[in-house]
Amino acid sequence: MSELRPHHRAVDRIAEILEAVVTERSGLTLTQLALRLHAPVSSVQKLVNGLVAVGYLEEDDKRFRLGAAPYLLAMRSGQRLVSTVGHADLVDLHNRTGLSAVLAVRTGDTSVYADWAGTDDPFNYLTVQQLRTPLPETAVGRVLLAFMPDRERHELVAAAFPDDRPGALALLTELSSVREAGYTMGDSGPMLRGIASVAAPVWEQGLVVGAVALAGPHDQAIGRLPEFVELLLDALHKFSRRRVN
């Protein structure tokens, strides 16, 4: 059984640097990185120098981009985070519903949007400004949280509500309902205010490896969510029968 691990300041800072540079195709200067990280330029420079030295960053005209090393690691692993849901599937879901279709995966105690189709400008802006989102704050995050092992889920909820036992119990009750129903439906959450959504897990080989959501403006989507639940669950069931790479 996996368990929550403590954060390490230096590792967190390195992750923040890598996640920052992928948001800008032209790369970021050292000053821009320091501003993004709210950290002194001197401390960021030491980490950036080390990342350039081992190929995780590359420098061009004093701007830093993702280097070759992360891509090579991904290629050599031969693994995909989610094998059964592709971009074309999200495009199809968007075309059939008129809603944004997004795929998210879990990274530690956060969720990350791995792919999407039919999203609007506010969503695109948020994915650039905030790569990671705490699991309880979005529909896909709550789905991922609901299907985590019990001990890990309890630890994460306790960490999210350290001084709010009623809040923790309310979230755990909601997550139990998500597991029982196999989906969540309603307001997306504080990350995407004014958005209604349905979200359900992506199963591969008996494990939840991601979550897909259909989302749109509350006044346009809320009345049709039950219809979209059936469509999404049917699509994910078909996807789950594909061969896992």
| Average pLDDT of the residues of the chain | 89
> Percent of the chain at pLDDT above 70?
93
| Cα 231 to Cα 96, 97, 188, 235, distances in angstroms | 9, 9, 18, 6
CA atoms of 211 and 157, how far apart (whole Å) = 19
> What pLDDT, on the 0 to 100 scale, is given for residue 17?
93
CA atoms of 142 and 161, how far apart (whole Å) = 15
> What pLDDT, on the 0 to 100 scale, is given for residue 18?
92
**Is 1 a residue whose pLDDT tops 50?**
no
Q: Is 132 left (phi over 0), alpha (psi -120 to 50) or beta?
A: beta
**Is 10 a residue whose pLDDT tops 60?**
yes
Q: Name the CATH topology of 87-240.
A: Beta-Lactamase (3.30.450)
Closest C-alpha to 138, from 186, 170, 176: 186
Domain ranges of the chain: 9-75, 87-240
Token pair listed for 213: 């959501």
CA atoms of 111 and 100, how far apart (whole Å) = 17
83 with 67: CB under 8 angstroms?
no
For residue 100, the SS3 value is strand
Q: Which CATH number fits domain 9-75: 1.10.10.60, 3.90.1010.10, 1.10.10.10, 3.40.50.2300?
A: 1.10.10.10
What pTM does this model have? 0.76
The model's pLDDT over 114-142, given as tens digits with 9 standing for 90+, comes to 889 988 777 777 666 666 889 999 999 99
